[in-house]
Structure 1
């Protein structure tokens, strides 16, 4: 066999992993659990592969894990492997997205019957949704409708899996500063989608909600959101909250008071009041602990300061509390429309499964830590003492954290989608060649 230098062998491997021929599967070498597990080469001129609001970028069903990303010319590549350390099988699909717009992310989930569901390429355009032809398959159906209603102006598709294996699908109908939150539910028995709410959170034609959501182990659905008054990100304000104990049909406040739907700016419960022009970011993350208490991670600039700080808003003993996470020193300001080039990522929050006083983890990327994948951890929120570590050594550009929520719930292992990405301000692109996609594995 002809000898090839190590660098060239690695490059050829990544080219094979990119699935450059439609419908042809390639297999990565088996990897031991832990560290960075390579998957393929992905588009990197903006952060469309690395946005925090991908729900999900990686997902596990039983002992099979899946991921998805856009390749160098915008085709969707699917990956599948057997856990804990099977080889990644990657396959380019026939579907292509407008990767020049960083809003147009890929979201995926697996239902309780093992079917993969995929929604992608949305920024105020008709629904693009498909699912696998069979359980545990990477072959996809043609594009499908869900309910056929309010599917012409879709942005921010998100999937969540109920404890019984059914799926929740959430998206925005409308535009920035003027949009509403829509909820659908998928039945694994009938393989049909039904509408839960045409409008759950109503911007009343004047504003829209930018939300984050989570389904906890009890099946309670938690949603929190900031309001935006216009397309300008500087008009973000406040953090509101609602929960549903019946899968999204009826809604209540944290006090148990029942909401009259749809929820509006005047009727919402506020976990924290935050003024406009506070550098408050939108679409971050939330989780709930084993007792059903919600935790919301975000960032904004405290009053009297020029430096935005990571913040944790959480419910304990029926009281909302706010804890600053870490101490940044670099100021920046948010204003304007479109995807912004920001020196920090939006945060991702996780909690341990302890029934009392669980540890809290915040994942992020910050220029102050040379744009590495970083984590802050607090073992006791009553002290608000945080320790910081980097989970990798190399910079990841403008990447934001998204992870396999189902595997974390199953066994407490963090599987994080990682890729170095660029991001120009206001949907402009950076001159960055396709970059390797990895799954970063970590356990407490």
Structure 2
């Protein structure tokens, strides 16, 4: 179905959702708003943590008990420049010690750990392995099947980088290599931009990635995939064991051999699953006419089966280095929606955006879910821009915690200018903006 003629939308009186309500709102601090960079919100009952850059661009961690509106703050010795890559990530290990990393784009490792469980005031700079930590980008924390904390990152730069995994031992309070080799290696010719690892319903960790030859984003190519039971031993989608590191020459990894300037960007290739637990990759690339189209690749019957979902008469061509200010096409990952349907968030600069219902059989568009007017009005008001500085937008960070109360969610929000290709903006700059935390009711059975 052509996205420009999506047909009737779902608007049934049988399942009208309960409009959301603002349960609580708190103003934590004033924050830097000269360019967008990622903050972090983590709720681990009975505590909640927020990582951000304050009005002076200083990395700051705030903490409170969920039953209190009193926040405790810890300013860390790391100051933000102009790079929108320099987001912050945070995690708690099995014993409740806080781990923080961020403010790096091909820079020496920035990492802090608390000396007391659950206590931000005890955060201190700490070592990791001491190996391959001079040109760090894209830090991430995750946990393996045993609940052990894993940290992974890229060493190197666009067009020349490798990816490493470390694991934290809570008994010794030390990091070591999870694998004594890199996972993904561009062999000094390229670097990988991975998504995941994502734990699937089949018990595997799934990872997709594209390769990039230079700092220029148009040199992304070759959508690829691998999976693992334990993050140590990796295999192809067909179950063939793989030797590390994974390179462009490793057999069985390339899903779609998209060429350089073929229309895929890093961040595309989202990992999802259908109702049978089969892995599905969502991505965009150019079609034969040179237009940008949305595709789905599903592993079925021992091969990748491809489905073109869109029929857009539009070409999004991106190029150059640095953080891109605008993204013409965005998409999420598919998830089961029942009754032979999948759901997926899709955003387009020209065509309808929203939650799409796709046929699970062939990924064609069945409907676009029409938002509830009351819900739209609620979020429109919540997300409104208050600053009168030209170009300001509201941005958000969503809670990365677990075991949260059903029917509730937390949203962290602030106002900022968009990225500026990671270079300084001339003055005047906008005044620091309020960093707000919202607690919102959510309809669990829309």
- Structure 1 length as normaliser, TM-score? 0.76
Matched, 1:41 2:30: yes
Answering whether residue 324 of structure 2 is matched by residue 340 of structure 1, we say yes
Query: Which of 258, 271, 279 is the aligned partner of 1:274?
Result: 258
Structure 1 pair 86–161 and aligned structure 2 pair: CA distance change class (3 A): farther
- Higher share of residues assigned strand: 2
Structure 1 counterpart SS, 2:119: coil
1:126 pairs with 2:108: yes
Match of 1:220 among 193, 204, 210: 204
1:188 match: 170
Q: Is the 8 A contact 2:220 2:266 kept in 1?
A: yes
| Aligned residue in 1 for 2:5 | none
User: Could you say which residue in structure 2 is the equivalent of 1:102?
Assistant: 84
User: 2:152: which partner in 1?
Assistant: 170
Larger deviation, residues 185-194 vs 341-350:
341-350
Written as runs of structure 1 = structure 2, the 5 A alignment for 1:378-397 is 378=357, 381-382=360-361, 383-387=364-368, 389=371, 392-393=379-380, 394=383
1:252 aligns with 2:235: yes
More off after superposition, 68-77 vs 218-227: 218-227
Aligned residues: 400
Alpha-carbon separation, structure 2, partners of 1:36 and 1:327? 42
Aligned match of 2:417? 422
CA distance in structure 1 between the partners assigned to 2:405 and 2:86 by the alignment: 29
Q: Who wins on radius of gyration, i.e. which is larger?
A: 2
Q: Is the 8 A contact 1:211 1:223 kept in 2?
A: yes
Contact kept, 8 Å, 1:360 with 1:379, in 2: the verdict is: yes
Which whole-Å CA distance do the structure 2 matches of 1:416 and 1:313 have between them? 32
Contact 2:272 2:333 in 1 (8 A): no
Higher relative CO (CA 8 A, sep ≥ 6), structure 1 or 2? 2
| TM-fit CA distance, 1:63 | 4.4
What's the offset of the Cα at 1:172? 0.7
Residues 59, 80 of structure 2: 8 Å contact kept: no
* Structure 1 unpaired stretches of 5+: 1-30, 51-56
Deviation at 1:202, TM superposition (A): 1.3
Alignment of 1:44-443 (within 5 A): 44-49=33-38, 57-82=40-65, 87=69, 89=71, 91-197=73-179, 198-216=181-199, 220-246=204-230, 248-267=231-250, 268-283=252-267, 286-287=270-271, 289=273, 293-306=278-291, 308-309=292-293, 311-315=295-299, 319-321=303-305, 331-344=315-328, 347-349=331-333, 351=335, 360-362=343-345, 375-378=354-357, 381-382=360-361, 383-387=364-368, 389=371, 392-393=379-380, 394=383, 403-407=398-402, 415=410, 417-429=412-424, 431-438=429-436, 441=440, 442=442
CA distance in 1, matches of 2:341, 2:64: 31
